[in-house]
A = this chain, B = another copy of it.
Amino acid sequence: MFFDIKIDKKSPVYIQLKNYIKNMILRGMMASGEKLPSTREMASRLKISRNTVMCAYDFLKDDGLIYMKKGKGAFVADVKVDFQEKWNVDWSNRINNYAKKATELDIIKSEVKWEKGMISFKSIAPDDKLFDVENFKKSFLNCISREGGKILNYGYAQGYKSLIKYLLKYMENKGINTTEKDIIITNGFTEGFDLILSCLTNAGDSVICENPTHNTAIKIMKLHKLNIVGVAMDEDGINLKDLKIKLTRQKPKLSYFIPSYHNPTGIVMPPEKRTKLYNILRENNIPIVEDGFNEELRYLSDHVSPIAALSGNGNSVIYIGSFSKILFPGIRIGWILADKQLIGYIESLKRSRNIHTSFLDQAVFYDYLKEGNFEKYIKKVRRFYKDKYEKAIDFARKYIPYSKIYGEGGLHIFIEVYGIDSRKLLNRCCKRGVIFTPGDIFYTDGGGGNTFRLGFSRVSDEDIERGFKIIGEEIKKLKSV
């Protein structure tokens, strides 16, 4: 006994010894009342210091697992766990329809998995090699030295106050009137959208949106049992004629749009269309949820105001912001800007769901932003991604026999090829080590079977070329079948 402890370098030795003995006691491998080797004996047996053993014994005593008899040593306490008769629950029968649906709609569980060596165009996450880690580190150290342990204690559901103030200013700088509006910090867009639907919709309500649209938004709407009314898109965004027709047929509770670098098409809706869209919804009194997705990644030279800016001092637009496709998605910080009263409701809901978003992350993020790092960073990555985007477009034109390429920038392009089934194409490409996202998951009506999205943000130029070539070859083969 005690000879099979494998001491490694990952954690302190006394903890490893403590855990080893604890384990033996709890598994009933040491009887209650049994004497442990003396600290001297144990130390020499394991070739560790006697101090280490004493420390381990001390912790075991604290845990109530051993007791000391003066002059006699350490003994195992009476702690055997009374394992009870095996009782198994059939969880698959206990799960409700909501959880079943969430699992069904969880594309990560059904999609083709990336394997080493594959070229993946699935991701539109930012390239973390671009992250300005040094300044993030500085901001962390600033926060810790400024706030100490406080920043690790509970905070407010609405968010870290300085960050909220900063983002309000940031939104004002987009031309948005923030009077009587407020911001709540969320765990990214996903939580923001989920909270909004949780507050404002009931099962069976309709929501009108672009078709195609962000697949996560579709998933969340489906989980809320909403009736998704998709509106066709033209090359400059939503088709206003189709929108008007759909609105005469039903009265949606909400509308949801991605006006800039729309996911998946990459289309930027021009200012005039934004104004027209806004006015149509105003006439129908249907509030707008604007997804600020990748707005910051603008490659174009013209300024385009968010829809929320058009509403002036009105309160009808709910804006969801996030830097996740550009900066630090792993810390999960996004925000909702909306009417003050509405933010109050969302705040209570947020508190009931997870109390608040990590205060440490919010504080560090705030410090990083306020130092002007984001502005410098965005300048750098705009150039980087613009270059990548242009190369991707060039390679697509050269190698892929597309029918249409959508997108004016962003981190992906969206391709339509008449007469093919993009899932079949994916299967073929996958065998040759290339994967991408089939477009049908972005469609609200089961359409888009001949489309696919190619995310290039984390793929090297060489791999973009190699990958697109393979996709092109497989399309030709598919078409000739």
Q: How far is the CB of A314 from the nearest CB of chain B, in Å?
A: 4
User: B371–A11 contact, CB under 8 A?
Assistant: yes
Tell me, yes or no, whether A151 is within 8 Å of chain B by CB: yes
Q: How far is the CA of A94 from the CA of B202 in the complex (A)?
A: 11
- Indicate whether A459 reaches chain B with its CB closer than 8 angstroms: no
How many residues from A make CB contacts under 8 Å with B?
139
Closest 4 CB pairs of A and B: A131-B149, A128-B149, A64-B303, A187-B354
Other A-B pairs, 20, CB within 8 Å; known A14-B372, A131-B152: A64-B298, A79-B302, A79-B305, A81-B175, A82-B275, A83-B309, A83-B312, A84-B275, A84-B282, A85-B282, A88-B314, A88-B315, A88-B316, A91-B315, A103-B344, A103-B349, A125-B153, A190-B355, A330-B358, A332-B357
Question: Chain A, 39-63, contact with B by CB distance < 8 Å: what is the 0/1 string?
Answer: 0000000000000000000010111
Q: Please report the C-alpha to C-alpha distance between residue A332 and residue B314 in the assembled complex, in whole angstroms.
A: 35
Is B314 a contact partner of A86 (Cβ separation < 8 A)?
yes
- Contact for A99 among B81, B95, B141, B345, CB less than 8 A: B345
Q: In the complex, what distance in Å separates the CA atom of A341 from the CA atom of B94?
A: 11
Assess whether A77 is in contact with B355, with CB atoms less than 8 Å apart: no
B98 x A282 contact (CB < 8 A): no
A114 contacts chain B at the CB level, 8 A cutoff: no
Report the Cα distance A109→B348, complex, angstroms: 9
Bound: A198/B348 CA distance, A:
18
- Does residue A401 face the partner (Cβ distance < 8 Å to B)? no
Interface centre among A23, A313, A314 (most CB of B within 10 A): A314
Q: Is A361 an interface residue (CB 8 A)?
A: yes
**Interface residue? A194 (CB, 8 A):** yes
> A480: CB under 8 A from chain B?
no
Copies of this chain present: 2
Binary CB contact string for chain A from 374 to 396 against chain B (1 if under 8 A, 0 otherwise): 01000100100000000000000
Q: At the interface, yes or no: A248 with Cβ under 8 Å from chain B? A: no
CA distance A242 to B303 in the complex (A): 68
Pairwise interchain contact A103-B190, C-beta atoms closer than 8 A: no
- Specify which of A77, A131, A305, A352 lies most central, judged by the most chain B CB atoms within 10 Å of its CB: A352
CA of A370 to CA of B314 in the docked complex: distance in angstroms?
Answer: 52
Shortest CB-to-CB span from A43 to chain B, Å, is 19
Output the least CB separation between A141 and chain B (Å).
7
Q: Which of A132-140, A402-410, A416-424, A437-445 contacts B (4 or more CB under 8 A)?
A: A132-140
A233 contacts B by Cβ under 8 Å: no
Q: Are the C-beta atoms of B330 and A152 separated by less than 8 Å? A: yes
Are A316 and B89 in touch, CB under 8 angstroms?
A: yes
Contact between B108 and A351, CB atoms less than 8 A apart: yes
Docked complex Cα distance between A15 and B102 (Å):
44
